Each structure stands twice: as C-alpha cells, then as structure tokens.
Amino acid sequence: MKELLRDFEHKRPEIVFEWKDSETEAEGWVVINSLRGGAAGGGTRMRAGLDRNEVESLAKTMEVKFTVSGPAIGGAKSGINFDPKDPRKKDVLARWFKAVTPLLKNYYGTGGDLNIDEIHDVIPMTEEYGLWHPQEGVLNGHFNVRESERIRQIGQLRYGVSKVLEDAFYTPDLKRKYKVADMITGFGVAESVRHFYDLYESGCQGKRAIIQGWGNVAAAAAFYLSKMGVRVVGIIDRMGGLINTDGFDEKAITDLFLNRNGNELVSPDMIPSDKLQEEVWGIGAEIFIPAAASRLVSKSHVQQLVDNGLELIASGANVPFADKEIFYGPVMEYADQQVSVIPDFVANCGMARVFAYLMQPNIEISDDALFSDVSKVIQQALKAIYDVSKERRQLSSKAYEIALRQLI
C-alpha cells in the first residue's frame, strides 16, 4: 500500500492553472491531477495562507474519493489565497470564475469548499459567465452526451443540489429551508459511523462521540448521530467548546445546530479554548469526528483519545491528521494501528456522490433518494474493506489499497 501511495503522491499533476488577481493580492490555482475518464472534479476553497501545495494535495485526495463516489474521473481542486472575511471577496471570486470558465466549460467540474458556498457563490457566479452549471465540464468531458441529454442532466444537477429539504427526518427545521448541499456531507459522515458499527458490532446506539468543528459537516454529522442514539459528549470549536459527559440529547444538538453564528458554535455554557483543550481529549468517547480544518489532529490528541476508550475515527475533514504527507503520514498511520479510521474519501464523499448520482439519466430526485444513495455507496465501500479483512485496525490502509489499485 505504501509503495502505491508513494507512486501516486509523487506523480506530477497533468494541469496546473495559476492566477494572479489584477486588483488585489489574491492568487489562485486550479490543479487537475489527471483527466482520467476525460474530466476532473473538485471544489473551490479560499483561505489566507493557502498555497499551491495544499491545492495539489487536495486534488489527489479528490481523485481517490472518486473511486468511491464516482464518476470515474480525475481529481482536481481550486484554491484562492485570500482572506474570506475581506469585503472584496465577492469581486475577487467574480474575477476568478471569469478566468477559469474555459476549464469549467470543457473538462473540469467544481463546487463549494472551505469558505466558498455552493449555492450562494459558485452557482450564481458561474452562471454569470455562461455556464449552465459548475459541473458542466464533467458532463462534456466525461459523459460526452448529446446536447438534449446534457440539458436534462444539468437540469437534474441544478435542481438536486439546491433542493430544499422537505422530509423532516433529514432537516433540523423545515421552516429554515436547508438544502441538500447544506446537510449531505455531514449525513454521510454519520452514516459511515452507523454502517461501521452495523458491520463490526450490533449498532452504535449509546456510543459516545466527540465532534471537532461546528460548520456544516460537523454540526450535520452530530445532528444525524444524535438521531441514531449516539451521545455527543464534547464539541471542539475554534473559539472554545462544550463538554457534557452524560451526552447532549437530540434536542440539545438540534438547538446548537440552529443557534450557530455562521459556522461558529454559540452557547452560554461555552468553555474557553485553553481550558477545553486541557479537558476534552480525556473525557472518554468511542467515536471521534474530526470535521474542522485540515491537519489539526496531532499524535498527542490521538493518544489521549485512545487512552480513554476511542474505537473509531470518521474523517469529516479532508486530511484531518497533522501530517505533512498528502495521505498516510505518521500520525494517521499511528491512529490506523490503534483504532478503526474511516478515511476522508469514504466518510465525507457525500457531496461528490450527489453530483455523480445527479449526472445519471432519468433518476428520482427526492430527499430520500439522494440521501439513501449516499448511504448505500458508503455502506458498499465499508463492506468492501470488511470483505478484505475483518480486522478492525488498519482499516484506512486497506481502503487506500483498494482505491489505488483502480488508479495505478
């Protein structure tokens, strides 16, 4: 597995598009690791300090993810080095999307990512520059369908991704009109936990969980886990967090979801970050969901969690471990040897799978159809790992080997 990973990591990307903004200090990159199947896909992110290496790493991660979610295309990523809180953000994005439209028209499909919203940023801006949908390049490059079929599939994409959730099971509040894109990735992370425990034990009810982050992925994962009977005992956010060793019930988690300030946890009981970091890793939990930024989870964090009963890590964030390596560095390897680690390309493939599902001809578009499809794909990926070996440790190693044998 390590030899396969090394070969994949060191292979140069096929296409690197570099951009310098004419009016600000912003700079950006589209990295297309390969045009496997004639196209490539991956979201657009923005953060201050982002560099080309981060974008290359994420493009390779997307290529592995597509071996699970489909379609059978190459991995790509867009990244803009700019402060997303800067009031000039919208104008920077507009100039960025104008520059990359030719790629998006022909062979590259994108979506939302860190600090870039699928519904409010990507779709309206790409429409302004003549795209029917930001995944149009995948339909042209990979599916190569006739125009009439392409129009139908683009219609499915436009409707499905932006669809307002109508089934009370999938949304914390029908009145707030949450969309598929708001909830689906966190749902997939929670489903990966459920399917894991269904395979290796007799369910996850009563298990304790610590959640890192409180954005769309983390909060949605906690919401769905609480519906399964998992007790969330700790929430770690950027400015602090919460601990409840008895576990927050479903109503409490739903309230915390609804009371967010953007992607920030809000509660009168917030514990300051320094104090939280001293306590939270040792409170005891079987499940850990890292779903904040990349590369935050250290070996010390893992050791403390393991010493206090950890069984499973389900990666809500891309590359959650504090390794310099793209995929399987020493921290992730240590975690994989100690407990079960569901890698990011399985656990958080929900949005990629929705795109793949909606590109199929004549499919049902309902809340249950979309969410059930994501659940089924994740269940199949975990079952494939289980069929290789029923050993609970080194689960990620087995998952990477299965994926990489499709790519190399």
Sorted by where each starts, the structural domains of the chain and their CATH numbers stand as: 1-144 (3.40.50.10860), 180-406 (3.40.50.720)
pLDDT beyond 80 at 37: yes
pLDDT tens digits for range 361-396: 889 999 999 999 999 999 999 999 999 999 999 999
Phi and psi angles of residue 240, each rounded to the nearest 5 degrees, phi first: 150, -155
| Sign of the four-CA dihedral 32, 180, 270, 262 | positive
- Percent of the chain having pLDDT more than 90? 86
Phi and psi angles of residue 133, each rounded to the nearest 5 degrees, phi first: -160, 145
pLDDT in the model for residue 253: 98
pLDDT in the model for residue 222: 98
| Sign of the four-CA dihedral 12, 359, 120, 257 | negative
Among 22-26, 155-159, 380-384, which stretch is predicted with the lowest mean pLDDT?
155-159
Phi and psi angles of residue 248, each rounded to the nearest 5 degrees, phi first: -75, 135
pLDDT in the model for residue 217: 96
What mean pLDDT, rounded, does the chain reach?
95
Mean pLDDT, residues 86-97 taken together: 97
Confidence of residue 146 (pLDDT cuts 50, 70, 90): confident
Extract the tokens encoding 76: 């790509």
pLDDT beyond 80 at 110: yes
Of 68 and 293, the structure prediction assigns the larger pLDDT to: 68
**Biggest alpha carbon distance in the chain?**
59
pLDDT in the model for residue 119: 87
pLDDT tens digits for range 232-252: 999 999 999 999 999 999 999
d(CA 187, CA 179): 12
Query: Which strand ranges, in their side-by-side order, compose the sheet holding 312-314?
Result: 271-272, 240-248, 231-237, 208-212, 287-290, 312-314, 340-342
- Percent of the chain having pLDDT more than 70? 100
pLDDT beyond 80 at 147: no
pLDDT in the model for residue 28: 98
Spell 122-156 as b/e; 16+ CB within 10 A means b.
bbebbeeeebbbbbbbbbbbbbebeeeebeebbeb
Half-sphere exposure of 29 (CA within 13 A, CB side): 21
d(CA 46, CA 58): 13
Mean pLDDT, residues 202-214 taken together: 97
